[in-house]
C-alpha cells in the first residue's frame, strides 16, 4: 500500500486540472445551459481559470457555445450559454440480470442510439459484448474510436472498486470478474456496479431532475426481485460490504416461505418477487408487473397486502435514511394502481418524503450502465480512457 494515500493526499497540478475539468463538465451537463461567469461563481474558480478550461473543452469538441443564454434579453454584454455536445462520443451501457442482458449505445446525453437484447450472460460474455459493441457502433454510423467508455449494472452483490460480481447465484457460481475481461475486450474503461445502484445514478444523471444531482433518493426497483439504493452527494452508497440497499431482504411479515436467497421467513422478496407471485398464482416465469395485474384481478385483498408490505419496508427505510424522495422504478410501478396504493400508505403514516415514479424508461435497464460510464467520463475530466481501442 502506498505510504501516501486516502484523504491525506494532496493535489498536484494535473490532478487539479482534471478535477476542475470534471467539475465544469458535470455542471454544464446538469444545467444544459450555463454561462462562463455562472460556472466561475458556482465552482469557486476565477473567471480566467474557467475561460481556459472552457476553451480547452470547446477545442476538444466536448462543449459548444449555444448562443445567447435563455431568458437573457437585457441590454449589455450577452451571456453565451455553454452546452455539452451529445455527439462528442458514444457510451456503452449494459444491464445484466437473471432475465436478460441489454446493451444500449447512447450519445453523451444518455439518449439511446441503438438497443440490443440478449439472454442472460454466459461464459463468453466479454468477447460477445465486444463483437456486439462493434455492430452497434457500425449501425449508428460511428467508428470504433467514438466509444468513450462503458458501464455494466449487474444484479446481486458487486464490488464496484474491483469490478467483480461477488454473488449472483442466479447467473454464476462464486465471484465473476467483469471489469478486467471487458476492458480487455472493449479497449475502453469499464465501470461495474450493482444494477440498482447504477439505475439510481441514472435517475440522478440522465433524467429531467438532474439539476438536483446531490438529492438524496431512496431508489427502489421491483422486478424480478426487489432492490434499493440510497444516493447521497450524487452517488449511490455501496455499503461497507457491498450489501447496501437489500430492501428486499428486510422482514415485513411473521410468516411465509423461507427466502431462497437470505434464508429468512417473511422478507419482502420472499412474498412479492416474480418467483413468489408466479408460484402462488400458478404462472411461473411471468414478469412481476403481469403477475401484479393478475393478482389484482383475482384477489383484491392479496393485492392490497402486497402494497402494504412494500409500504412497511419503505417506511422503515425512510425512518433510517430520511431521503428527500422515494423513487419507484419498474413496469409494476409504471402501470396499474400499485404505485398509488404504496404512496398512499406512506403518506398516511405522516412521513415527510416525496414518493414518485422513476423518470427512467423501465424498458431500458441498461441505462444504469450508461450512467456509470458517463460518471467515469466526467470523473476523468472528459478524457476517453484508453483512447477508444475497440476493434482489436
Interacting residues with Zn ion (CB under 5 A): 249, 259, 262, 267, 269
Q: Kindly state the smallest distance separating residue 224's Cβ from Zn ion, in Å.
A: 13
Q: Which CB, 248 or 381, lies closer to Zn ion?
A: 248
Place of cell 440522478: 204
Check: CB of residue 186 under 8 Å from CB of residue 129: yes
| Residue-level length of the chain | 392
User: Exposed e or buried b for every residue in 126-140, given b needs 16+ CB within 10 A?
Assistant: beebbebbbebbeee
For 168, the grid coordinates are 449472483
Greatest extent of the chain over all pairs of C-alpha atoms, in Å: 71
* Nearest approach, Cβ of residue 273 and Zn ion (Å): 9
Helix (H, G, I), strand (E, B) or coil at 333: helix
CB of 107 to Zn ion, least distance (A): 39
Shortest approach of Zn ion to residue 225 CB, angstroms?
Answer: 9
Cβ 101 to Zn ion, closest distance in Å? Answer: 24
Closest CB to Zn ion among residues 124, 258: 258
Closest to Zn ion by CB, 168 or 269: 269
DSSP 8-state symbol, 44 = T
Give yes or no for a contact between 191 and 160, defined as CB atoms under 8 angstroms apart.
yes
Question: Are 151 and 94 in contact, with CB atoms under 8 Å apart?
Answer: yes
Q: Nearer to Zn ion by C-beta: 109 or 267? A: 267
For residue 158, give the nearest of 195, 202, 204 by alpha carbon.
Answer: 195
Q: With respect to Zn ion, which residue has the nearer C-beta, 312 or 371? A: 312
Q: Which of 6, 9, 27 is nearest to 378 (CA)?
A: 27
Q: Say how far apart CA 282 and CA 266 lie, in whole Å.
A: 20
Closest separation in Å from C-beta 242 to Zn ion: 17
Closer residue to Zn ion in complex, CB, 189/272: 272
Please check whether residue 25 is in contact with residue 83, taking contact to mean a CB–CB distance below 8 angstroms: no
Nearest residue relative to Zn ion (C-beta): 259
Question: d(Cα 147, Cα 197) in Å, to the nearest integer?
Answer: 23
Nearer to Zn ion, 159 or 269 (CB): 269
> Whole-number minimum distance, CB 257 to Zn ion, in Å?
10
Amino acid at each position: 500500500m502506498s505510504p501516501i494515500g486516502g484523504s491525506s493526499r494532496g493535489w498536484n497540478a494535473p490532478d487539479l486540472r482534471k478535477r476542475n475539468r470534471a467539475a465544469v463538465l458535470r455542471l454544464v451537463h446538469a444545467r444544459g445551459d450555463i454561462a462562463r461567469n455562472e460556472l466561475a461563481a458556482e465552482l469557486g474558480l476565477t473567471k480566467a481559470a474557467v475561460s481556459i478550461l472552457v476553451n480547452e473543452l470547446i477545442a476538444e469538441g466536448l462543449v459548444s457555445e449555444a448562443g445567447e443564454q435563455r431568458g437573457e434579453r437585457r441590454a449589455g454584454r450577452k451571456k453565451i450559454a455553454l452546452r455539452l455536445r451529445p455527439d462528442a462520443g458514444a457510451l456503452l451501457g449494459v444491464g445484466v440480470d437473471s432475465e436478460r442482458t441489454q446493451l444500449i449505445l447512447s450519445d453523451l446525453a444518455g439518449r439511446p442510439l441503438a438497443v440490443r437484447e440478449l439472454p442472460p450472460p454466459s461464459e463468453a460474455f466479454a468477447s460477445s459484448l465486444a463483437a456486439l459493441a462493434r455492430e452497434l457502433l457500425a449501425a449508428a454510423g460511428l467508428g470504433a474510436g467514438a466509444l468513450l467508455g462503458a458501464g455494466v449494472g449487474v444484479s446481486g452483490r458487486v464490488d464496484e472498486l474491483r469490478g467483480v460480481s461477488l454473488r449472483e447465484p442466479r447467473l454464476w457460481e462464486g465471484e465473476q470478474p467483469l471489469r478486467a475481461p471487458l476492458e480487455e475486450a472493449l479497449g475502453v474503461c469499464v465501470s461495474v456496479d450493482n444494477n440498482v445502484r447504477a439505475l439510481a445514478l441514472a435517475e440522478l444523471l440522465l433524467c429531467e431532475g438532474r439539476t438536483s444531482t446531490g438529492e438524496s433518493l431512496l431508489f427502489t426497483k421491483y422486478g424480478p426481485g426487489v432492490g434499493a439504493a440510497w444516493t447521497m452527494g450524487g452517488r449511490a452508497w455501496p455499503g461497507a460490504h457491498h450489501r447496501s440497499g437489500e430492501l428486499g431482504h428486510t422482514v415485513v411479515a411473521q410468516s411465509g416461505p423461507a427466502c431462497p436467497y437470505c434464508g429468512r421467513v417473511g422478507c419482502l422478496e420472499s412474498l412479492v418477487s416474480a418467483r413468489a407471485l408466479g408460484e402462488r398464482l400458478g404462472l411461473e416465469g411471468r414478469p412481476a408487473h403481469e403477475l401484479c395485474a393478475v393478482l389484482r384481478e383475482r384477489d383484491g385483498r392479496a393485492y392490497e397486502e402486497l402494497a402494504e408490505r412494500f409500504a412497511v419496508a419503505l417506511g422503515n427505510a425512510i425512518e433510517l435514511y430520511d431521503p428527500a424522495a422515494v423513487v419507484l422504478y419498474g413496469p409494476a410501478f409504471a402501470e396499474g394502481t400499485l404505485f398509488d396504493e404504496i404512496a398512499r400508505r406512506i403518506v398516511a403514516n405522516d412521513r415527510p418524503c416525496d414518493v414518485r415514479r422513476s423518470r427512467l424508461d423501465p424498458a431500458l435497464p441498461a441505462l444504469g450502465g450508461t450512467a456509470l460510464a458517463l460518471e467515469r467520463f466526467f470523473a476523468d475530466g472528459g478524457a476517453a480512457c484508453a483512447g477508444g481501442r475497440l476493434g482489436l
